[in-house]
Amino acid sequence: MSEQADKPPIVYAAKAKMSGHELMVFFQMISQRHAIESIVFLCIGTDRSTGDALGPLTGSRLAAYGFPHVIGTLPEPCDAFNLQARLNGIPADKVIVAIDACLGQASSVGYFFTSEGPLTPAQSVGGKLPSVGDYSVAAVVNVQGPKPYWTLQVTSLYQVMGMAEEIARQAALAFNLRT
């Protein structure tokens, strides 16, 4: 764990809805508890669906900012087909920050749900994947409806790219990486 005595402790709720600029508080809490070398960002999703591309877009941005351990980028997505193999390759001593897109209520679109605990990938579309993460960020990219796969396909790329950049930028700021 990193020791940063000059920063006050952050009191953090177990699960919180927050805007993009509020993500810094979440990532600062993680940076106060863990050294950057001990963290693995697990960015879940595929580049074959606009709404579900949030994970790989975020992973690519995190890698560009200089985070040393990122799984799930545009060239090498972490999706339903390879998630378990990717998880098996993470050493037990690493702290996992899971990041995924999700569908939700209209009032939550554009917001992030953060947690000191795992998220369950593919839950919005009825998938059966293992819960992952010591910490997690679920980005609400569109409204939950009767056809979730179709909804993810027609989600605004602009919205998803903006949310992915916000996650990566706030994480980089919290860990004092160049932005």
In a domain, 6, yes or no: no
In a domain, 7, yes or no: no
Domain tally, the chain: 1
Q: Which domain holds residue 90?
A: 15-174
Tens digits of residue pLDDT in 62-117? 999 999 999 999 999 999 899 999 999 999 999 999 999 999 999 999 999 999 99
pLDDT of 129: 83
CATH number at residue 138: 3.40.50.1450
In a domain, 45, yes or no: yes
The 3-class SS string of the chain reads CCCCCCCCCCCCCCEEEECHHHHHHHHHHHHHHCCHHHEEEEEECCCCCCHHHHHHHHHHHHHHHCCCCEECCCCCCECCCCHHHHHHCCCCCCEEEEEEEEEECHHHCCCEEEECCCECCCHHHCCCCCCECCEEEEEEEEECCCCHHHHHHCCCHHHHHHHHHHHHHHHHHHCCCCC
pLDDT of 6: 42
Q: Mean per-residue pLDDT for 137-141?
A: 96
Q: Compute, in degrees rounded to 10, the torsion defined by CA atoms 119, 122, 125, 127.
A: -110
In a domain, 50, yes or no: yes
In a domain, 133, yes or no: yes
Question: Strand order of the sheet with strand 95-104?
Answer: 15-18, 112-115, 135-143, 95-104, 39-43, 70-71
Tens digits of residue pLDDT in 21-60? 899 999 999 999 999 999 999 999 999 999 999 999 999 9
Q: Are strands 15-18 and 112-115 parallel, antiparallel or unpaired?
A: antiparallel
pLDDT of 114: 97
